[in-house]
Structure 1
Amino acid sequence: MKKILIVFVLLIGLLGAYFFFTQSKESKPALEVEQKQEEIQVTRKNIKEETETHVVDVVYPQFGIAAIDTHIDQLVKSSVGEFKMLPPNPPESAVPKHSFDGLYDSVYIGPDVVSFRLVLSQYTGGAHPLTSISGLNYDRATGKQLLQQDAFAMIGKTVEEVSAAATKELKSKLGDAMFEEGANSNPENFSSFVISEDKITFIFQQYQVAAYAAGVQEVSFSRK
């Protein structure tokens, strides 16, 4: 009888231990692994100064990625430096001070690229300012600047195919006023572009494919 009681107690103990172990295992929450891509916080930098000969007011973005920010910073400061080296206007000029302005727009931050438009405009007198629009695009992982060859690859077209399609679209819009050499198959004609989630837009500068009055022209292609 005593042996039976001992065996019974041992069985109860084993069952209790098993129950405790299994319940603890089941109730322990599973580890959740969540991979989040690091968010980019865009900040603004401003170069602003005024002297007796010129006024500068340029705003441009920084993305918190060292290689990208350094390249943008150097590009903007180089442009401002070149502007400041221009000889001043004579005192009797209708435009006593040169001006250099800059802004940015069309910011796109995707999983693979960072892209935006940088608009720089200088005025030293004359009928209108001289404006340049640069599409600046970077590989988000490496910080490397993306060039037109990368853009062609993203849309799955050769420069000849891009040229033919762009010329056709611009010709339909501008007619005989189009300067066709500005969209021929020279890769430099497509050096300015911006990237969005679903397309790439090539930017043609003032005077590149038409007279100043026609303004800046753009042609877009779907990304593959």
Structure 2
Amino acid sequence: MSLKVFVSYAKEDRQQALKYYDLLVQDGMAPWIDVKHILPGQNWEAEIDKAFLDANVVMLLLSNQSVNKRGFVQREANDAIERLRYKQPTDIYVLPLLLEQCEVSSHIAGRLQYIDLTTSGAWEQVQASLQLAAEQQSIEIKHGSNAGPFKVFSEHLKDYWEGAPGHNIKIEYPRFESAYLSAVAEELSLYFGGRAAQGLIQSRQKPWEQQTDLFPEPGGYTSLNGRWDGFGIVHATDEMLSLTYEVSWYGAGAAHPNSHFETYNFSLRERLLRLSLEDFFRDHEAALKRISQLCIAELCREYWRRTGEKPDQHQIEWFNTGAASTEENFSAFTIGADHFTFLFAPYQVSSYAAGRWSVDISFYDLLEFLKPDGPHTYAVQRVSRE
């Protein structure tokens, strides 16, 4: 397979970015860079968002211009780091590459090894990493990825229709196989296959609701609504499965796309059951207040890690509103072996340019609210059956 590589860069570094784009092409990769792939009339933000979600690897080209600049380069870096939680620990997904000596934020340096392209043999290191990433992708496509008792295969539904407006839709969904949880695997596959089919049908444009005065060129880039869904397996044991969907959409003629999270947490004990946040707590209201306090404090710390600055009063008010103790604010959550992760879409706790946010809250910090034998105990991996 040709590895899809998204090239993220600051516009001041465009010539260097194009040089590395050409090297990727020579190496048999399938790189994507805005100046080569966005056509006149296309909504550039929507096209970038689709390419970013579709990429196998995100290549972050870092320089003094990009690391000190607020905007889409930082947004892409933030979102790439956020998506690491849905990858296997050994997967190569984000490649931070230094175009010059510059200060790399702890948000990146604390999680990933970067390569200084000004040093001897640096590109050979990049080639080796990309080759390994391509091998990992090929194995996952052919044999599925391991998730607890499951093998997970990525499937998708697509639909394109030229209209005024028309639509361009791609919805990924997981197909599950399991040697000893075959009935559960079948139900999960039906569940998410059904979700994909429903989303596809609901997102189609209707021929009798066309607006030719607003979109005089059916099939033109600005006359297409878009939806693209991607999923990630967060945690899986014999008794629990947690996964998330990132749902992005674009309305024809809009300034930019938008996105939100859908999360799915299941108990696998005895039979497949979907879990809500309330299922975990003895006192749900008190738990929400504690979660809110912990999230706001961590969002402030994360802001500092990303920017090197303390949040100003306006940003703190945004955190206080978007992470206030309401059910709606914490509806997007996943479960790890010892913690919850709460996901915040663009605009919920910060600006669109700041991208997506997430906060991990340890079970330990919520012990006084958790049901003693509640479903959080299912998140610990038992001895697996072969």
TM over 0.5: yes
Unpaired stretches in structure 1, ≥5 consecutive residues:
1-37
Residue type of the partner of 1:186?
T
> Which position in structure 1 is the counterpart of 2:345?
205
2:150 counterpart SS class: coil
What CA distance in whole angstroms lies between the structure 1 residues aligned with 2:277 and 2:348?
17
Give the aligned length.
Answer: 184
Kindly indicate whether residue 261 of structure 2 is the aligned counterpart of residue 143 of structure 1. no
> Which position in structure 2 is the counterpart of 1:196?
336
Residue type of the partner of 1:42?
V
Kindly indicate whether residue 168 of structure 2 is the aligned counterpart of residue 55 of structure 1. yes
> Which position in structure 2 is the counterpart of 1:127?
255
Kindly indicate whether residue 159 of structure 2 is the aligned counterpart of residue 159 of structure 1. no
Please tell me whether the aligned partners of residues 157 and 196 of structure 2 are also in contact (alpha carbons under 8 angstroms): no
> Which position in structure 2 is the counterpart of 1:77?
197
Kindly indicate whether residue 291 of structure 2 is the aligned counterpart of residue 171 of structure 1. no
1:63 counterpart SS class: strand
Please tell me whether the aligned partners of residues 294 and 361 of structure 2 are also in contact (alpha carbons under 8 angstroms): no
Over aligned residue pairs, what C-alpha RMSD do you find?
A: 2.5
2:349 counterpart SS class: coil
Residues 214 and 151 of structure 1, relative CA distance in 2, 3 Å threshold: farther
Residues 199 and 114 of structure 1, relative CA distance in 2, 3 Å threshold: same
Kindly indicate whether residue 341 of structure 2 is the aligned counterpart of residue 214 of structure 1. no
What CA distance in whole angstroms lies between the structure 1 residues aligned with 2:275 and 2:360?
17
Spell out, residue by residue over 1:45-88, the C-alpha distance to the aligned partner (whole angstroms, 9 max, x if none).
21112111211111111324244333323333333333224755
Kindly indicate whether residue 168 of structure 2 is the aligned counterpart of residue 40 of structure 1. no
Please tell me whether the aligned partners of residues 149 and 236 of structure 2 are also in contact (alpha carbons under 8 angstroms): no
Spell out, residue by residue over 1:108-149, the C-alpha distance to the aligned partner (whole angstroms, 9 max, x if none).
211321111211111123232121122211112222111122
What CA distance in whole angstroms lies between the structure 2 residues aligned with 1:39 and 1:172?
36
Q: Percent identity?
A: 25
1:206 counterpart SS class: coil
What CA distance in whole angstroms lies between the structure 1 residues aligned with 2:324 and 2:300?
12
Q: Please report the TM-score for the alignment, with normalisation by the length of structure 1.
A: 0.71
Post-superposition offset of 1:173: 4.2
Residue type of the partner of 2:363?
R
What CA distance in whole angstroms lies between the structure 1 residues aligned with 2:280 and 2:246?
20
2:235 to 108, 114, 138: 108
Post-superposition offset of 1:189: 0.8
Residue type of the partner of 1:111?
D
1:95 counterpart SS class: helix
Unpaired stretches in structure 2, ≥5 consecutive residues:
1-147, 178-183, 304-310, 365-386
What CA distance in whole angstroms lies between the structure 2 residues aligned with 1:139 and 1:108?
12
What CA distance in whole angstroms lies between the structure 2 residues aligned with 1:189 and 1:76?
25
What CA distance in whole angstroms lies between the structure 1 residues aligned with 2:221 and 2:196?
28
Residues 143 and 95 of structure 1, relative CA distance in 2, 3 Å threshold: same
Q: Please report the TM-score for the alignment, with normalisation by the length of structure 2.
A: 0.43
What CA distance in whole angstroms lies between the structure 2 residues aligned with 1:70 and 1:88?
33
Spell out, residue by residue over 1:3-49, the C-alpha distance to the aligned partner (whole angstroms, 9 max, x if none).
xxxxxxxxxxxxxxxxxxxxxxxxxxxxxxxxxxx932212221112
Please tell me whether the aligned partners of residues 152 and 159 of structure 1 are also in contact (alpha carbons under 8 angstroms): no
Which of the pair has more CA radius of gyration? 1
Residues 57 and 94 of structure 1, relative CA distance in 2, 3 Å threshold: closer
Kindly indicate whether residue 247 of structure 2 is the aligned counterpart of residue 117 of structure 1. no
1:158 counterpart SS class: helix
1:170 counterpart SS class: helix
Please tell me whether the aligned partners of residues 103 and 118 of structure 1 are also in contact (alpha carbons under 8 angstroms): yes
Post-superposition offset of 1:192: 0.5
